[in-house]
Amino acid sequence: MFKFLLKALAHLPLPVLYGLSGPLYLLVFYILRFRRKVAEDNIRNSFPELGAAEQAALLKDHYRMLCDVALEITRSLAMAPATLERHVSFTNLEVVQRELQQNQTVLLAMAHHCNPVWAILASGQQLGIAVDGIYKPPHVAWLDELTLESLSRFKLTPVPAKTCIATLLRRSSSTRAVAIVADQAPRRSDKAYWTQFMRQDTPFYLGLEKIAQLFKYPVFFMDLKRTGRGYYEASFKPLAAPPYDKHSHAISESFARAVEEQIQHSPQDWLWTHRRWKREKPLYD
């Protein structure tokens, strides 16, 4: 039933889906109260300089954005690649294309900001190359199958995070882009890089820098901005380039600062419902 409903929604035009965004916001924010306490705490701790009314306004703006993005991602399950290209523009593709023209695979690092799914899908179309998108498969099998089937229309190959190193090794002879949304919280069992982020001690998953160091890929941050409802502008910022010091966490630190700058520019567009600060920094790290 849910699979049928999702497929049906995916074929609706965006204006119709946006008409559903308001009722969805009321349901998620006021009735279900989906992770509201998490988002409230995250915003309060990240922006203590804001008054209670400003924090509450930011919280509501975030949930409205969250509902829009959820419906946009649903639409992408049936959206034609040419249609998506009209919704995501790129300002400086040439900085990445220079590397690709030298047969150099690049690593594109992103945050849970605006609509990273649309940005990754559109980047492959604009760059004209294959993109390996590292992701965590959903626990529901039919949802994973539906996602893989739908994304096959784009120049994107979803790569499960657990097997990404082996997969990238097999494909290392071909020039491509590897996209990773790298601001997720690492598991407790994972080794992490700790830094100050949004005024809080924050662990960062080491996957980004491990891939860059292992394969000697240059790293670019894809900065995404909302220019209108359903429209985004992406630009690429060089973060790091080989040779790398394997004992340094410069890549993770540069990424953290880039994400922080992005959040400060447009705080409502970051994923505040994520349990980003659920771990406490160890006394000895």
Q: Are 121 and 154 in contact (CB under 8 A)?
A: yes
- pLDDT above 90 for 149: no
- Whole-number pLDDT of residue 46: 98
Instruction: Please provide the average confidence, as pLDDT, over all residues in the chain.
Output: 93
- Whole-number pLDDT of residue 285: 58
Q: What is Dmax (Cα atoms) for the chain? A: 54
176 inside domain: yes
The secondary element (H helix, E strand) that includes residue 131 is strand 131-135
- pLDDT above 80 for 140: no
Provide the sign of the torsion angle of the four alpha carbons 24, 222, 120, 192, taken in this order: negative
Cα(100)–Cα(166) distance, rounded to whole angstroms? 22
Average of per-residue pLDDT across 63-82: 95
Summarised one tens digit per residue, pLDDT across range 25-54 is 999 999 999 999 999 999 999 999 999 999
Summarised one tens digit per residue, pLDDT across range 181-197 is 999 888 877 789 999 99
pLDDT band at residue 284 under the 50/70/90 scheme: low
Question: pLDDT exceeding 70 applies to what percent of the chain?
Answer: 99
**Host domain of residue 240:** 2-269
Could you say which DSSP state residue 282 is in? Answer: P
235 inside domain: yes
What are residue 87's phi and psi, to 5 degrees? Answer: -100, -15
78 inside domain: yes
278 inside domain: no
- Whole-number pLDDT of residue 56: 98
Show the tokens assigned to 267. Answer: 């705080």
For residues 121, 123, 125, 130, the Cα torsion angle rounded to the nearest 10 degrees is: -90
- Whole-number pLDDT of residue 45: 97
74 inside domain: yes
281 inside domain: no
252 inside domain: yes
Three-state DSSP state, 284: coil
Q: Are 215 and 172 in contact (CB under 8 A)?
A: yes
276 inside domain: no
Q: What is the count of structural domains for the chain? A: 1
DSSP sequence for 195-219: EEETTEEEEEETHHHHHHHHHT--E
Summarised one tens digit per residue, pLDDT across range 197-234 is 999 999 999 999 999 999 999 999 999 999 999 999 99
